[in-house]
Chain A
Amino acid sequence: MPQPGAITPEIQDRMLEVGVDLSAHPQQRAGTYVHLNDRPLEARAEVDGLEVMDIKQALDRYEWLRDLYGTAVPRDRDEFTRAAEEELHGGYFIRALPGAQITVPVQACLYLLTEGMVQRVHNVIIAEEGSFLPIITGCTAHFGARRGMHIGISEFFVRRSATVKFIMIHAWNEEISVRPRSAAIVEGHGAFLSDYVCLERVRDVQMYPVARLVGEAATARYRSVVAAPAESNLDLGSGVRIEAPGGRAEILSRNVSTGGKIIARGRVEALAAGARGHLECRGLLMSEQGQIVAIPELTAAHPDVELSHEAAVGKIAEEEIHYLMARGLSRDAAIAAIVHGFLDLGIEGLPPVLQKRIDSLIALSDTEAMEGKQ
Chain B
Amino acid sequence: MASQNPWMQKPARGEPQPSDDGLVVDSATLAVADRVVLRELSLHVPLGETHVIFGPNGAGKTTLLAGLMGMPHVKIVWGDIRWRGASLLGFDITERVRRGLAMAFQRPPAVSGITLRRLTELILSNNGNGNAGAPPPPEEVQQRIFTLAERLDVLDLLDRDVNAGFSGGETKRSEIFQVALQNPQLVLLDEPESGVDVVNMDRIGRMIRSLLQRDERPGNRTVTGLIITHSGYILNYVNADCGHVLADGRIICSGNARDVFEHIHEHGFEACAQCPPCQVAERLRRRRES
Contacts and interface: CB of A to CB of B under 8 A. Distances in A.
Contacts of A337: 114, 118-119, 122
Interface residues of A, number: 22
Interface stretch (B11-19, B90-98, B248-256): B90-98
Contacts of B72: 318, 322
Contacts of A323: 105, 108-109, 111
A344 B103 contact: no
A229 B16 CA distance: 55
Interface string B4-47: 00000000000000000000000000000000000000000000
Nearest to A325: B93
A341 B109 CA distance: 15
A320 B130 CA distance: 19
A318 B111 CA distance: 11
B113 interface: yes
B109 A329 contact: no
B71 interface: yes
A253 to B, nearest CB: 14
A324 B92 contact: no
Contact of B113 (A318, A325, A330, A344): A344
Contacts of A338: 111, 113-114
B114 A317 contact: no
A295 interface: no
A319 interface: yes
A357 interface: no
A328 interface: yes
A312 to B, nearest CB: 10
B102 A326 contact: yes
B200 interface: no
Contacts of A318: 72
Contacts of B113: 338, 340-344
A342 B111 CA distance: 9
Given A328-B123, A328-B126, A328-B182, A322 B97 contact: no
B213 interface: no
A318 B122 CA distance: 19
A330 B72 CA distance: 14
Interface string A332-356: 0100011011111000000000000
A329 B126 contact: yes
Interface string B82-122: 00000000001110011000110100110111100011001
Contacts of A317: 109
Contacts of B97: 325-328
B243 interface: no
B69 interface: yes
A324 B108 CA distance: 10
Nearest to A327: B123
Interface string B38-75: 00000000000000000000000000000001011000
A38 to B, nearest CB: 41
Interface string B176-199: 001000100000000000000000
B109 A319 contact: yes
Contacts of B108: 323
A338 B69 CA distance: 21
A66 interface: no
Contacts of B98: 328
Given A341-B112, A342-B113, A326 B122 contact: no
18 contacts: A319-B109, A320-B111, A326-B71, A326-B97, A327-B97, A327-B178, A328-B94, A328-B128, A328-B130, A328-B182, A329-B94, A331-B92, A337-B114, A337-B118, A337-B119, A338-B113, A341-B114, A341-B161
